[in-house]
């Protein structure tokens, strides 16, 4: 009860095509993350699923019901927005109760549902406050609570953590993950942050310029990217893209993650000079400049002593190399 399927969804604003044909199935109870750079159409796709925007073509089904033309309130969905979007004139309780009230639920039902959601998100002490009297983190918890109250088939999150500071972001992320385990509901979560995507998702959908680049579990995308875009987008620091031909590899581009590069002062495949070193304690990032390949990032675990302008040699682990053709597609 909560499987979503999109077929051949497109969306144009005037003559700008924003969504260029998306086919996707999200299974019941799955935590699915849409990730992609800013402006690639993630929010638009989510708004189409919510019914806030009409698709130019294509159809949407939840379970066996075609909801392509259903109004948002009839789709049994709930949405959490980046800007919280709490009703400023209502208390926390009023905010959480509104949807049920509109749907004609009885006082008792509303009371029970609000209580359940507020204890789940520890909002009990805030119920009588107005949004203006809450901190950012509390507002976002209320917004999540407002979604939980409705017991929807499908939860939609549009970058819910982007307005929070770093510490709060981690906490709220954990809270959302816990909520998903407790409710076992289907959730679709939009973010531009691949760390959020990797940590939360059962399955990640990588979007780029209105198209799906690849769909898969986080480790599938990390270990087996289909193309240059996915390889570059998933993983931090970013994968290095080297000129394949110079290294005697197949294809146009050779991709290698920073942690799969060896570095040596005496010998190696790619000579270069160190242009910058970042000491992060647990790991050390060394940026090496090479005339042909540009800036290459090397990630070393633990602490290492390297200094700027030193000459070093960098060597990719052959088994960890990815090869891409001229169109950026993976050669397997």
Partner 1 sequence: MSKARSALGRTVAAHSVLGLYTLIALFPVFVVVINSFKSRKAIFGDPLAIPTPSTFDPVGYTTVLAQGDFFLYFQNSLVVTIASLFFVLLFGAMAAFALSEYRFRGNTLMGLYLAIGIMIPIRLGTVAILQMMVASGLVNTLTALILVYTAQGLPLAIFILSEFMRGISDDLKNAGRIDGLSEYKIFLTLVLPLVRPAMATVAVFSMIPIWNDLWFPLILAPSEATKTVTLGSQVFIGQFVTNWNAVLAALSLAILPVLVLYLVFSRQLIRGITAGAVK
Residues near ligand ADP (CB under 6 A): 13, 18, 36, 38-44
- Cis preceding-peptide flag for 286 (omega within 30 of 0): no
Q: Minimal distance in Å, beta carbon 84 to partner 1?
A: 8
* Residue from 181, 211, 168, 180 nearest 189 by CA: 180
40 Cβ contact list (under 8 Å, min separation 6): 207, 208, 209, 210
Rule CB under 8 A: say whether 99 interacts with partner 1.
yes
Which helix (H) or strand (E) segment is 72 a member of? none
259 by DSSP, 3-state: which?
A: helix
- Chosen residue from 43, 91, 284, 297 binding Mg ion by CB under 5 A: 43
Q: Does 300 contact partner 1 by CB under 8 A?
A: no
Alpha carbon distance 200, 178 (integer Å): 10
Positive or negative, the CA dihedral 210, 227, 199, 186 is positive
**Per-residue contact string for residues 141-180; x = within reach of partner 1 by CB under 8 A:** -----x----------------------------------
Q: For residue 190, give the nearest of 220, 226, 162, 222 by alpha carbon.
A: 162
Tokens of 275: 């242009």
Q: Does 78 bind partner 1 (CB under 8 A)?
A: yes
d(CA 206, CA 147): 25
Residues 200, 173 contacting (CB under 8 angstroms): yes
Least spacing, CB of residue 82 vs Mg ion, in Å: 7
The site partner of 39 among partner 1, Mg ion, ligand ADP, none (C-beta below 5 to 8 Å per kind) is ligand ADP
Q: Rule CB under 8 A: say whether 15 interacts with partner 1.
A: no
- Supply 130's token pair: 């107005």
- For the bound state, the minimum distance from the C-beta of residue 143 to partner 1, rounded and expressed in Å, comes to 8
Show the binding pattern over residues 265-294: x = contacts partner 1 (CB under 8 A), - = does not.
------------------------------
Q: Which residues between 31 and 70 bind partner 1 (CB under 8 A)?
A: 47, 50-52
CB of 13 to partner 1, least distance (A): 8
Q: Judged by CB, which is closer to partner 1: 52, or 168?
A: 52
Helices (H), 24-75: 42-50
Rule CB under 5 A: which residues touch Mg ion?
43
Rule CB under 8 A: which residues touch partner 1?
47, 50-52, 71-73, 77-79, 81-89, 98-99, 102-103, 146
């Amino acid at each position: 009860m909560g499987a979503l399927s999109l077929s051949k969804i497109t969306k144009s604003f005037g003559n700008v095509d924003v969504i260029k044909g998306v086919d996707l199935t999200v299974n019941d109870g799955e935590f699915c993350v849409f990730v992609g750079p800013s402006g690639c159409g993630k929010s638009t796709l989510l708004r189409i699923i919510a019914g806030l925007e009409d698709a130019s073509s294509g159809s949407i089904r939840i379970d066996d019901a075609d909801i392509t033309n259903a109004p948002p309130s009839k789709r049994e969905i709930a949405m959490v927005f980046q800007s919280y979007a709490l009703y400023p004139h209502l208390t926390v309780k009023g905010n959480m109760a509104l949807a049920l009230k509109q749907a004609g639920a009885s006082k008792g039902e509303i009371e029970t549902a609000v209580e359940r959601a507020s204890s789940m998100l520890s909002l009990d002490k805030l119920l009588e406050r107005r949004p203006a009297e809450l901190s950012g983190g509390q507002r976002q918890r209320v917004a999540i609570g407002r979604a939980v109250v409705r017991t929807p088939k499908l939860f939609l999150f549009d970058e819910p953590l982007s307005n929070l500071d770093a510490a709060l972001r981690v906490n709220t992320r954990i809270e959302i993950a816990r909520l998903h385990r407790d409710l076992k509901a289907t959730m679709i979560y939009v973010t531009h942050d691949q760390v959020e995507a990797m940590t939360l998702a059962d399955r990640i959908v990588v979007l780029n310029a209105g198209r799906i680049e690849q769909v898969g579990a986080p480790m599938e995308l990390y270990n087996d990217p289909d193309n240059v875009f996915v390889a570059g987008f998933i993983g931090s620091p970013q994968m290095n893209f080297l000129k394949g031909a110079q290294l005697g590899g197949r294809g146009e581009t050779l991709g290698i993650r920073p942690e799969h590069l060896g570095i040596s002062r005496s010998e190696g495949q790619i000579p270069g000079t160190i242009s910058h070193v970042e000491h992060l304690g647990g790991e050390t990032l060394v940026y090496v400049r090479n005339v042909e390949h540009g800036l290459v990032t090397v990630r070393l675990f633990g602490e290492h002593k390297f200094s700027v302008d030193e000459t070093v040699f960098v060597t990719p682990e052959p088994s960890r190399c990815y090869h891409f053709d001229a169109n950026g597609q993976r050669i397997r």
